[in-house]
Structure 1
């Protein structure tokens, strides 16, 4: 259960990306982020901001068909997309447990598919689209400890 919770509102894809850059500033090597949200909720857009925050060597894209993308930067970002996983054990065949020990940042889209393999101290981020405006997102961070993300939304 999260000990610290903070909700942000973004009003464009650019703001969601910017929030990702700000979140990157408070992450530590070995952190795992679980991104929850429906299709088009902004999970990959937020991840793009995380990659930018770590000065990755390329922009983050959805790894839906490859299941994992790696973005080397000041910290390496390991981006998993579990949308196509049918059985949670499939994540083990991808070496998920080894990635947890690599000292980078692990980001998991569709984490509900592999919930049993997520570490207890996983940072959970819930992205919800506004029902009234397609470009508005409510993004809630649930962290095991208080970390201040300086973002003005």
Structure 2
């Protein structure tokens, strides 16, 4: 699936729809340069999961935990220098739980990502305007077929 969005609100909308459709145990991997909207998309997912806490990027904590319709784990592995660091916090226990896990900068720890996961890449489209982004959603495993229902 591919979406072109031209505002933070539309990015949040895509995320919210993913959150509403998410299932226990979903692993959602976000990839994109700084400033592309990964955290905004995550905020939308959290809203769709009925998380009422303010969502911030866990850049210095590696993971933030939230409660909503489902437990929600938000990882930011930008500052992880070695995959062993993320394993040391019990990464497997998080992502193989009945929670929804969103991992920003997932490409930094590819070897730790389960085979079945959703990958969302976000790219700036400066040729269209400052706020334009292309959101590309791919996945492995039938569990993520629900993304076909997303509309903006």
Question: TM-score normalised by the shorter chain: which range applies?
Answer: over 0.9
Poorly superposed stretches of 4+, deviation over 3 Å: none
SS of match in other structure, 1:127: strand
2:41 maps to 1:46: yes
- For the residues of structure 1 that align with 2:130 and 2:149, how far apart are their CA atoms? 24
Deviations 1:67-105 (A, max 9, x none): 111111001110000000000111111111000232010
Name the counterpart of 1:139.
135
Match of 1:65 in 2: 60
Q: Distance in 2 between matches of 1:77 and 1:114?
A: 19
Question: 69, 91, 110: which one pairs with 1:115?
Answer: 110
**Cα distance in 1, alignment partners of residues 63 and 32 from structure 2:** 18
Pairing partner for 1:87 from 82, 89, 92: 82
Aligned residues: 147
Task: Supply the distance in 1 between the matched residues of 2:51 and 2:22 (Cα, whole angstroms).
Answer: 15
**How far apart in 2 are the matches of 1:121 and 1:21?**
21
Match of 1:32 among 10, 27, 47: 27
| Pairwise CA distance, 1:28 | 1.1
* CA apart distance, 1:149: 3.0
Unaligned stretches of 5+ residues in structure 2: none
Name the counterpart of 1:102.
97
Please give the secondary structure, in 1, of the residue aligned with 2:130. coil
Gaps of 5+ in 1: 1-5
Q: Which residue of 2 aligns with 1:22?
A: 17
Partners in 2 of 1:141 and 1:126 — Cα distance?
7
Structure with more helix by fraction: 2
TM-score, with length taken from structure 1: 0.91
> Counterpart of 1:3?
none
TM-score scaled by length of structure 2: 0.92
Counterpart-to-counterpart distance in 1, 2:10 and 2:102? 19
